[in-house]
Structure 1
Amino acid sequence: MALTEQNNISIAQIVIYIPSLFIAIWLAIRHGFGRNSGWLYLIIFSLARIIGAAMQLATIPDPTNLSLRVGAATLQSVGLSPLIMVQLALLGRAAGSIRKSTATLVNEKRIRLINLLVLVSMILGSIGGSESGHSLAETGKYKVSSLSQAGTGLMIAAFVLLVFSTAFLATQMPYMEAQEKRLVLAVGVSLPFLLVRLAYSAESLYGNNPAFNQVTGDINIQLGMSVIMEMAVVAVVEGVGMTLDKKTKYTAQQSEQSEQSETEYEMGPSK
């Protein structure tokens, strides 16, 4: 049986994301699994892509298996969330570097709030994808769930906040440690690729163009706006991650001093 273009893409994803998974694991071990490291999200993303591609390839001997098709499509749709979480984690580390010397409006606590927004979006997208799968199994048509649309709405809001946070921290790069500046640069380079990927998700969920359907849509559009964009983001993030030294510990005294400075920064000078 001849392989389809979708099969070839799935094979390419497995070939690329298996090494990516091992690099992400190495980065997590080297830099830690903490909430500001972000490498755990990269591990989750790589696993999602490997498993999703494997499920798609499993449809070759069983093309009528809707569960495999829907499972692969669901994993494809939720992959954007871990990538944005990686970016937020990198910004969190950069913000921590700034707080060692000065206050910053975009600190780790606020970045975690954005991360929570992305997490809720991912949960809604997963539930919505499951509902769409049941609809496909019952009716033979892939119907977009309102929960998936709500999740994508939250993702768009989180992306806007990510762009703002990146721009703000870029203005405070002189206060960062030398190697931490690369983190903001990596996020800035990744943003255009994430924007295209987000546009693909938004069009597939809000638009009526069948070419953007996540199950039966145009494979070339999916390749250009989703698959390649994700690979570019992973390449940028892992490339920068491998150049970083181990992060020095942030002492309790430094944290207390920074929080006091941030309180004064937000309240303004005392009269």
Structure 2
Amino acid sequence: MTTNSLKPRGIIASVEIAVYVLTTLFVFISKTRYRIEFRKQGGWVYLILFLVLRITSCVLVIVLELTSNPTIGLVVAQVTLTAIALTPLLSAAIGFLKSAAKFGTGQDLPRFFVYALRLSKLALLAAIVIGIIAGSDLANGAESVSSANNGRYLTKVSALILLGVFVSICVYTAWFLSHGNSLGHFRTIVIGVGLSLPFFLVRIIYSILSAFTLSGSGYFSGGVANKFNTINGSWPIYLVMAVLSQFFITVILFIAGVAMQKDIPQRYQNEQDLENASKESAPDSSFSFLLRRLR
């Protein structure tokens, strides 16, 4: 098997791997330092998921560029990971907003808001499933015209779903900011999500342009119209609109998440300790009320 040298996308992928491995390390250092409980804060879980997916995707980019005759399975994996890359970041933004409400107000969100957030998550799940199917069809597009057509159609659907979720996050952020006084210090994470929205918009525009300019057999067809192609389009456009926008989103959410963690009262982080202590002593009514509020 002969090998090739890295092209610009492969070099970009190499830098991404180094950056995102360090970012993952910082996340786990922050977990230890600030006692972050990932299972109670969905934003961190989705942020880590994005980092893992992105590192894996970058590794596949390098392998594809160094391999003269890559297998169809390798191509499908790369195309699929590229198609679903943005969904964990959108989920992370939603998760951090929910955490801000939980720790900032100590109260449950309005029911309609809970349903709206759940609907957004279901939409993102649908976008992932559609993206996986679309990636598989597009990777096989050179062998089947029907697969290429179906893949292009599903890619457009997935991109439009992401746009819809992005609009909903804008609405959620505006609503949280309008109730900023009740959030206290946790307004910081909401502001962080707000600052990430322009970069989300750039990334989603790139996804939409990529989806609606696909032609021929899919990702592997050439032409000027495919300069937004995520696989073999213009690498400067890819660098600015896809890679850098995702990086800035990650950095902003990470910094805002750490800032939020610093503001979480120690009583929330030691909730289990308080419950254990309550079993060993006879708490008065005020302490019982505190425990109920903490739950």
| TM-score bin, normalised by smaller chain | 0.7 to 0.9
Aligned pair 1:182/2:188, yes or no? yes
- In the alignment, the residues of structure 1 paired with residue 80 and residue 107 of structure 2 have an alpha-carbon distance, to the nearest angstrom, of 44
Q: CA deviation at 1:78?
A: 0.9
Matches within 5 A, 1:152-171: 152-171=159-178
Q: Partner of 1:216: helix, strand, or coil?
A: coil
Map 1:244-259 → 2, pairs under 5 A:
244-245=261-262, 246=264, 248=268, 253-254=292-293
Q: Normalising by the residue count of structure 1, what TM-score does the alignment of the two structures yield? A: 0.83
Partner of 1:24: 27
Please name the residue that 2:55 is paired with. 50
Partner in structure 1 of residue 16 of structure 2: 13
Q: Corresponding residue for 1:215?
A: 231
1:13/1:53 contact within 8 Å kept:
yes
Distance 1:53 1:21, change over 3 A: same
1:151 alignment partner in structure 2: 158
Q: Which residue matches 1:233?
A: 249
Q: Which moved more, 1:228-237 or 1:212-221?
A: 212-221
8 Å Cα contact 2:102/2:108 also seen in 1: no
Q: Compare 74-83 and 29-38 and name the one that shifted more.
A: 29-38
What's the % identity of the aligned pairs?
23
* Cα distance in 2, alignment partners of residues 224 and 34 from structure 1: 33
What stretches of structure 2 of length at least 5 have no aligned partner? 215-224, 272-289
- For residue 31 of structure 1, report the CA deviation from its aligned partner: 2.1
Contact 2:101-2:109 within 8 A present in 1 as well: no
CA distance in 1 between counterparts of 2:113 and 2:294 reads: 11
Q: Distance in 2 between matches of 1:184 and 1:242?
A: 13
The whole-number CA distance in structure 2 between the counterparts of 1:182 and 1:254 is 23
When structure 1 is superposed on structure 2, of 90-99 and 149-158 the one drifting more is: 90-99
Query: 2:46–2:89: 8 Å Cα contact kept in structure 1?
Result: yes
The residue number in structure 1 matching 2:217 is none
Partner Cα distance (2:51, 2:142) in 1 = 26
- Give the partner amino acid of 2:47: L
Q: Is the 8 A contact 1:21 1:42 kept in 2?
A: no
Q: Distance in 2 between matches of 1:39 and 1:9?
A: 25
Counterparts of 2:182 and 2:208, CA distance in 1: 37
Bigger Rg, structure 1 or 2? 2
Within-5 A mapping of 1:59-98: 59-65=64-70, 67=72, 68-98=74-104
* Aligned amino acid, residue 15 of structure 2: A
Change (3 A) 1:60 1:161: closer
RMSD: 2.7
Provide the aligned length of Structure 1 versus Structure 2. Answer: 254
Shift, 1:120, TM fit: 1.4
Q: CA deviation at 1:109?
A: 4.6
More relative contact order, 1 or 2 (CA 8 Å, 6+ apart): 1
Pick the aligned partner of 2:7 from 4, 14, 25: 4
Q: Trace 1:88-167 onto structure 2 (pairs within 5 A).
A: 88-100=94-106, 104=110, 107-136=113-142, 144-167=151-174
Residues 1:242 and 2:258 are matched in the alignment: yes
Distance 1:255 1:47, change over 3 A: same
Tell me the alpha carbon deviations over residues 239-269 of structure 1, each in whole angstroms, 9 at most, x when there is no partner: 222232246269784499xxxxxxxxxxxxx
Unpaired segments of 5 or more residues in structure 1?
A: 257-271
Shift of 1:49: 1.1
Does the C-alpha gap of structure 1 residues 102 and 57 become closer, same or farther in structure 2, counting only changes over 3 Å?
Answer: closer
Letter paired with 1:133: A
- Which residue, 31, 34, 43 being the options, matches 2:39? 34
1:198 aligns with 2:204: yes
Q: Secondary structure at the match of 1:65?
A: coil
Aligned-partner Cα distance in 1 for 2:182–2:107: 7
Give the letter for the 2:141 counterpart: S
TM-score norm. by structure 2 comes to: 0.76
